[in-house]
Amino acid sequence: MYKIAVAGTGYVGLVAGVCFAEMGHRVTCVDIDQVKVELMKSGVSPIYEADLQDLMIKNNESGNLNYTTDYHSAYKDADAIFIGVGTPEQPDGSANLSYIATVARQIAESVEKDCLVVVKSTVPVGTNDKVEQFIQDFLINDVRVEVASNPEFLAQGSAVHDTLHAERIIIGTESKWAEELLQDIYKPFNLPIVSVNRRSAEMIKYASNDFLALKISYMNDIANLCELVGADIQDVAKGMSFDERIGSKFLNAGIGFGGSCFPKDTKALDYLAKQNGYELKTIQAAINVNKEQKTMLYKKASRRLITFNGLKVAVLGLTFKPGTDDLREAASLENIPLLLEQGADIYAFDPVGAANFANVHPEGRHRKGSITYVSNVEEAIKDANVCFIFTEWGEVKEVKPSMYKELMRTPLVYDGRNIYSIDEMERAQVEYHSIGRKTVERQNMKEPNERELQSIRS
């Protein structure tokens, strides 16, 4: 059992802290946000992640898990301090390392015994060398402090599961002492550990994330071509997925990747390459394809409709993916301002993300359009002229195609997540535009026969 401090209680820091406590370590989570700390102390998770709150309550009660804003008390006698603060994108695409630097300085001024500083945040290759030097420069006490890299691979929406059942733990160290300590901390997880040097660990994180972003953009690019040449991207993806060299995951075409990682990590790696005199052309292509893809549905709908002005527009899903309340780089954030600017009256549904979205776009009238947050899909689509699907929440996937036909003023659906089959939308007589597949036009709609009518109704 080790005494662990975690700096930053966002998706990465809090989940790591809770899981370390669950594995028997004594953990203190540190955040600068007093409100968050008070919430966590009372057993409430400041973020939405499956199972997180239950594990918090359990470990709060056992005494393994504590929270504080007082970094000095948490860091001074910790065996290891994990850093999980943000590294957001700067206007030039580089990673903002100021939060890391602040924590490094706080650590240097606090530690009173030998300790390992473990950077979980995603940082450009070479950053941890600088973090170690920075800590040495500001160290007050005569103690040994080393820095290790331990990038995080959890996915929001399944963060706790991904941490407890990680496919691999990457540890990047520069000494046997650091390597063995980190291996020992992770021992109770009983997971495969890949031990490399610090710079390789930093690169593994970017190379992995950017590969996935590249895979998504590649499928989106192929999807756009499929539409033009009459192929179906879902059939294409299915055919590709049997090839083990390709794999079956991350082959779904859609309206691009969002979230707090892929967009910034592609740009940060591109920036790092440029800094080193290299053009990372594949990653630049992934970034450009994604930028176009985000507003693909809006562009399609703008070609189809004379105007959005005064139309009731249903929006299903606001978060960047299901299972999270995170809106960072969500497609909704790009499309909704465009729709509002065109005078649309938006009725938005999201099971957990609406409150966060309302902080950015408050309910009510905007300059030309308006936005109303509703608590179910039916309210959103009732009498709507057009419906956009941005996030494939379970509540959205459950909606039967016939409901669009029955409830909407015009059954016109733009689906950015390819939730429905072309056949079922055709049968339900819904005009249906999706990604990389044939459009169900009005004139293509078959009148359903009696048997099909019954299956639609049930």
Question: Which C-beta is closer to ligand NAD: that of 10 or that of 353?
Answer: 10
**Separation CA 16–CA 30 (nearest Å):** 12
HSE-up of residue 59 (Cα within 13 Å, Cβ side): 29
Question: Which C-beta is closer to ligand NAD: that of 193 or that of 338?
Answer: 193
3-state DSSP assignment of residue 150 = coil
Q: How far is the CB of 152 from ligand NAD (least distance, A)?
A: 4
Q: How far is the CB of 257 from ligand NAD (least distance, A)?
A: 12
Exposed / middle / buried, residue 28 (Cβ in 10 Å: 0-12, 13-18, 19+):
buried
| Sites for ligand NAD among residues 1-20 (CB under 6 A) | 7-13
53 binds ligand NAD (CB under 6 A): no
Strands 412-415 vs 3-7: parallel, antiparallel or unpaired? unpaired
Q: How far is the CB of 84 from ligand NAD (least distance, A)?
A: 5
| Sites for ligand NAD among residues 208-267 (CB under 6 A) | 260-261
Q: How far is the CB of 393 from ligand NAD (least distance, A)?
A: 18
99 binds ligand NAD (CB under 6 A): yes
Tokens (6 digits) for 437: 């597949």
Question: Which C-beta is closer to ligand NAD: that of 13 or that of 258?
Answer: 13
Q: Which stretch binds ligand NAD (CB under 6 A): 79-87, 223-231, 284-292, 411-419?
A: 79-87
DSSP 251: -
**Separation CA 57–CA 69 (nearest Å):** 19
With residue 450 as reference, give the H or E element that holds it.
helix 450-457
Question: Which C-beta is closer to ligand NAD: that of 163 or that of 402?
Answer: 163
Q: How far is the CB of 209 from ligand NAD (least distance, A)?
A: 8
- Are 89 and 122 in contact by the 8 Å Cβ rule? The answer is no
325 binds ligand NAD (CB under 6 A): no
Q: Is 261 noted as a catalytic residue in this protein? A: yes
Q: How far is the CB of 95 from ligand NAD (least distance, A)?
A: 8
Question: Which C-beta is closer to ligand NAD: that of 68 or that of 224?
Answer: 68
102 binds ligand NAD (CB under 6 A): yes
- Are 332 and 324 in contact by the 8 Å Cβ rule? The answer is no
Using CB under 6 A, count the residues that bind ligand NAD.
26
**Separation CA 158–CA 160 (nearest Å):** 6
Q: Report residue 206 CA to chain centroid gap.
A: 15
Q: Report residue 53 CA to chain centroid gap.
A: 19
Question: Which C-beta is closer to ligand NAD: that of 45 or that of 217?
Answer: 45
Helix and strand tally (H, E) in the chain?
A: 20, 15
Question: Which C-beta is closer to ligand NAD: that of 217 or that of 260?
Answer: 260
121 binds ligand NAD (CB under 6 A): yes
Q: How far is the CB of 286 from ligand NAD (least distance, A)?
A: 17
DSSP sequence for 109-131: HH--S-EEEEE-S---TTHHHHH
Question: Which one of the listed residues 19, 29, 261, 387 is annotated catalytic?
Answer: 261
127 binds ligand NAD (CB under 6 A): no
Using CB under 6 A as the criterion, what x/- string covers residues 133-172 for binding ligand NAD?
-------------------x-x-x----------------
Single out the residue of 5, 21, 22, 31 in contact with ligand NAD (rule: CB under 6 A): 31
DSSP sequence for 47-90: S--TTHHHHHHHHHHHTSEEEES-HHHHHTT-SEEEE----PBP
75 binds ligand NAD (CB under 6 A): no
Task: Determine the Cα angle at 208 with ends 202 and 213, to 5°.
Answer: 130
28 binds ligand NAD (CB under 6 A): no
**Separation CA 99–CA 412 (nearest Å):** 46
Query: Where on the chain is the footprint of ligand NAD (CB under 6 A)?
Result: 7-13, 30-33, 36, 84-87, 99, 102-103, 121-122, 152, 154, 156, 260-261
* Residues designated catalytic: 261
